[in-house]
Amino acid sequence: MKKDILIATIILLAVMTGCGGGNTQSTDDLITVDVTKSYPKKELILQDIFDVEYVHLDDTQDEFLTQGIVHDVGEQFILVRNLGIAGDILVFDRQGKGVHTFNRRGQGPEEYPIMAQIVLDEDNKEIFVRADHKIVVYDLLGNFQRNLASGGRISISDFSNFDRDNLIGAVNLVISDNEVTLREGYVNFENRFFIMSKKDGNITQIIIPFEKRLTTWIYRGGDEPADQGLRNQELIPNRDSWVLVEISSDTIYKMQPDFSMVPVMVRTPSVQSMNPEVFLYPSIFTDRYIFMQTVKKQILTRISQFRSTYPRNNLIYDMHEKVIFEYTIYNDDFSTKTPVNLAFESNSSMPFLHKEIVFMQKFESYELVDAYEKGQLKGKLKDVAAELNAESNPVIMLVKHKQ
C-alpha cells in the first residue's frame, strides 16, 4: 500500500513539474538560490545554533581500542568500524562504554567481504552492513538475520533508515559522455533514489524529473574518467524526512514520512544551461537556517589520480530574515578560531545523522591532548581532554538540534 502511495505521488509530481526538472513549476513558495551570485559574509558560532555533546569512547578494555570510523549513532548505541582489525564492528553505548564486538568478514552468504557502510536500526534491534552488491542484516550481537538485494546485484552509494519497515538509499550510476548505465550485471535504475523493504529487499524507485542526466564526474574524453567527481552527499536527513538532491534537476525535494514528495528549494540559473555546471547541495536544516554548499565542476588542484579540489562556497539561508549569506561557523570550545565543516564531502569524517543528532565529528585524542597542552581548549571539550592521553580512544562530538 505504501509503495502504491509513493508511485502515485511521483507520477503526480512528474505531471506538475514536467520534463524540465521543475522549471515550469511556480516557485512563489520555494526558496530560490542563485548559485552564481556573491553573497555577504557572516560568522557564526556552532553552540549558538546547536547543542553540542562530547563522548569519549571507552578504552579500558583491549577489544575496544580503536582509531576507527564512526558509522552511526542512535539513542542507545554507537557503531564503529575498527581500522586496526579488518571486519571488526564495535558497539558502544551512548556514554561511550564498550558493549560488544563482532566480526563476520568473509566470502560466505552470511558474511561481508568489505564494509562500505554500517547503519543502526534501534527500533528493530538490527545492524545493516553494505558490502559490495548486497546489504547483510545482523542483530545487535552480530548474529546473521538475512541478506537484502543479493538476488539482483545493486550498486548502492548510500543508504539509511527511512522508517521501521524501510530503508532509503541512492545507487551509483555509471555515466559516460554519451549514456547513463549501471555496471554490467547490476539491476537497471533510471533514477538514483529508492525505497527498500527491510524485510525482503524489495525496491521502489523514486522518480525525480529532469531534462538530461548530468554527472559530477569529469572525463578526458570518451568513457575514461579524469576525476571521480564532487561527491557531496545527496541523501540528506531532515528530522523525520529526507531531502533528495538530484543534480540534474533545478528543484530539490523532500520525501516525508507518508512518502509524499514536497519541493523545498529551486536553484537558478538552470543547471542544464551551465558549462561548467555549478551544483547546489543543501546539508543541514534547522528551525531557522538551511546550510548549503555550491560546488563548481572545475578542478582547482589535483591531489591524486581520482581526487581533486573544486571551487566551493558555503551558504546559509535565514528563514526568518529571508536572506542568504556566505558563512563561516566556529566551534566555541576552541580558544582559537576553528572552523567546522557543515558540508559533507568524500574525505569528510563528519557523517550526517538523523532525528535528534544532526551530524558528528571525530577528534583523535592526540590532537586534543596537543591542543589542551597549548591552552587552545575551553568549556566542555577542555574538561574531556584533561582526562586523555595521546593513546586514548577518539572523542566524538555529537551536534544536535536545540532543545
Cα–Cα distance between 293 and 317 in angstroms, integer?
11
Cα–Cα distance between 20 and 296 in angstroms, integer?
21
* CB 393 within 8 Å of CB 365: yes
pLDDT at position 66 is: 83
pLDDT at position 105 is: 95
Task: Kindly give, in sequence order, each residue whose CB lies less than 8 Å from that of residue 99, ignoring residues fewer than 6 positions away.
Answer: 77, 91, 92, 93
SS3 call for 379? helix
Q: What's the CA angle centered on 161, arms 158 and 164, to 5 degrees?
A: 155
Query: Quick check: is 354 in a domain?
Result: yes
* Cα–chain center distance at 309: 19
Q: pLDDT class for 228, splitting at 50, 70, 90?
A: low
Average pLDDT taken over every residue of the chain: 85
Cell numbers found for residue 266: 529551486
Query: Quick check: is 8 in a domain?
Result: no
Residue 22 in this model has a pLDDT that exceeds 80: no
Residue 244 in this model has a pLDDT that exceeds 70: yes
Residue 395 in this model has a pLDDT that exceeds 70: yes
Q: Report phi then psi at 16, rounded to 5.
A: -65, -45
- Among 194-208, 252-266, 281-295, 347-361, the range scoring the smallest mean pLDDT is 347-361
Sign of the torsion formed by the C-alpha atoms of 361, 367, 373 and 375: negative
Cα–Cα distance between 374 and 64 in angstroms, integer?
29
- Among 82-86, 187-191, 299-303, 364-368, the range scoring the smallest mean pLDDT is 187-191
Q: pLDDT class for 172, splitting at 50, 70, 90?
A: confident
Residue % of the chain over a pLDDT of 70: 82
Domain count, the chain: 1
Q: Give the side-chain half-sphere CA count within 13 A for 25.
A: 30
Domain containing residue 377: CATH number: 2.130.10
Q: Quick one: three-class SS letters along 257-305?
A: CCCCEEEEEEEECCHHHCCCCEEEEEEEECCCEEEEEEEECCCCEEEEC
Q: What is the per-residue pLDDT across 46-67, written as a single tens digit (0 to 9) for each? A: 999 999 999 999 988 888 988 7
* CB 143 within 8 Å of CB 133: no
- Among 2-6, 117-121, 181-185, 237-241, the range scoring the smallest mean pLDDT is 2-6
How many other CB atoms are found less than 10 A from the CB of residue 23? 20
Residue % of the chain over a pLDDT of 90: 61
Q: pLDDT class for 388, splitting at 50, 70, 90?
A: very high
Q: pLDDT class for 227, splitting at 50, 70, 90?
A: low
Query: Quick check: is 2 in a domain?
Result: no
Query: Which residues form the domain of 54?
Result: 25-401
Cell numbers found for residue 43: 560568522
- DSSP 8-state assignment for residue 19: G
Across residues 256-277, what is the average pLDDT? 96
Query: Quick check: is 378 in a domain?
Result: yes
pLDDT at position 255 is: 95
Cell numbers found for residue 7: 508511485
Query: Quick check: is 17 in a domain?
Result: no
Query: Quick check: is 115 in a domain?
Result: yes
Position 111: which residue type? E
Torsion of CA 233, 239, 240, 245, to 10 degrees: -30
Query: Quick check: is 12 in a domain?
Result: no
- Among 89-98, 239-248, 258-267, 301-310, the range scoring the smallest mean pLDDT is 301-310
